[in-house]
Structure 1
């Protein structure tokens, strides 16, 4: 499944599966579109509805279509192997796929995404025993994938790959939270350069590995739907020794790596 984002890519818009949609679409049309996406992304898998295994928290109407906050919450987190985020009517619907490692506390993932049309947003979890569960939420937003950066491409790319990691309060014996921030424009390929009037080529974070010592917290495959300067909030188990290591790579062979010391838990 990790290769599906690349396999789908912009071809979804070419085949028409992610055709232009909007507020006028009927519920039946949205269901049909999701059924088509499921056949492409989760071929041969039975996906059961469940807000226990995964719940989406997103604004019903986005304030900024290029920076839509999404929270994926999984209350039965010990059963979860991974989670996928699909924005049905985006040019590339498969926004992100997370696989959790032994050092993860997969109760919640937060990130910011682009939403290009009024659309259903789906989250699908895969459990450790090979079952799949889905939930959805409707989000009203428009134009997020083509929204300009508000600066030149050169300015948007300054410091590309710089990373920061903020830690929440750590308590002994309990999972910890961290917020990862990566400087990267995540160009969608649909944004017009305001000077040249040409479209800026797509350049986005494609793979992200976060580990604690030698143990994986999570691996993420991403695409153009993730907002510029990605921000990801995640949980981890602060057990053992070693820093948190982040390795990010984009679709144009950019690669960045940084380590962060984990603060000691306080009583």
Structure 2
């Protein structure tokens, strides 16, 4: 009789799913409700560049729904630091869409978790094929990155004459910053470059909060946040960003677009 005859072949192990552990670590094991009709997430199925993968988060509550989205957390399950960003939405800003660019380190599920005013969490997910984004070298050398550190640009995509003042507007804030992940290697010294990234960002219309972000190493070099909001009649847009070395960057622009 042959050795091992009659034994069933070993079962292929199920691939490890980090999501249950992330629910415990990031959300204190709170219940996750189906986010269909509440929160949407859009990313390319196969990324062209793993270091700058576009992602759009979209609030989808129907008109007349009395609930409000308080915050949205973006989780890239297989990244070394899975919580990419948490966005807090201003109470009166009616932010309905946020787009940015992220690093993706491995083929992974990506979750968007919305916290609503009913006290519940709602989740949506997508799948992205990309790898190596967190260790990809920076596009700028260190001197260029230092020269542009903290420089901000602000763009508005709908002006006062483009529609009713009460209608939604789109804007974009860009910040010059290397956003080093801590996993990139200096090609000269062959040493890892320390993590150094924008970890706080806040935007206001005058003194009314529009959007706040708590960011991590997964946000791409030169953070770029595009969002929709409803104007409140403010005369200026203010932005403040902080990074992990304690730098504070501030700027403001008139809401009619002058000075951009």
Normalised-by-shorter TM-score class = 0.7 to 0.9
> Could you tell me which residue of structure 1 aligns to residue 45 of structure 2?
60
Unaligned residue ranges in structure 2 (runs of 5+): 1-11
Equivalent of 2:192, from 189, 192, 199?
199
Equivalent of 2:70, from 70, 81, 91?
81
Distance 1:235 1:71 in 2: 11
> Could you tell me which residue of structure 2 aligns to residue 21 of structure 1?
none
Q: Alignment RMSD, CA only?
A: 1.7
Equivalent of 1:143, from 132, 138, 144?
132
Task: Give the superposition deviation at 1:199.
Answer: 1.0
The two structures have a TM-score, normalised by structure 1, of 0.85
Could you list the structure 1 runs, at least 4 aligned residues long, displaced by more than 3 angstroms after superposition: none
Q: Does 2:122 correspond to 1:133?
A: yes
Q: Secondary structure at the match of 2:73?
A: strand
> Could you tell me which residue of structure 1 aligns to residue 33 of structure 2?
48
> Could you tell me which residue of structure 2 aligns to residue 180 of structure 1?
173
Equivalent of 1:225, from 211, 218, 224?
218
Larger radius of gyration: 2
Check the 8 A contact 2:95/2:230 in 1, yes or no: no
Equivalent of 1:215, from 201, 208, 216?
208
Distance 1:151 1:177 in 2: 28
Q: Which has the higher helix share?
A: 1
Q: Secondary structure at the match of 2:15?
A: helix
Task: Give the superposition deviation at 1:149.
Answer: 1.1
Q: Secondary structure at the match of 2:143?
A: helix
Q: Does 2:15 correspond to 1:29?
A: yes
Check the 8 A contact 2:36/2:124 in 1, yes or no: yes
> Could you tell me which residue of structure 1 aligns to residue 7 of structure 2?
none
> Could you tell me which residue of structure 2 aligns to residue 39 of structure 1?
24
How many pairs does the alignment contain?
A: 238
Q: Deviations over 1:14-35 (max 9, x none)?
A: xxxxxxxxxxx98x535x3101
> Could you tell me which residue of structure 1 aligns to residue 148 of structure 2?
159
Q: Does 2:110 correspond to 1:121?
A: yes
Aligned pairs for 1:254-265 within 5 A: 254-263=247-256
Task: Give the superposition deviation at 1:218.
Answer: 1.0
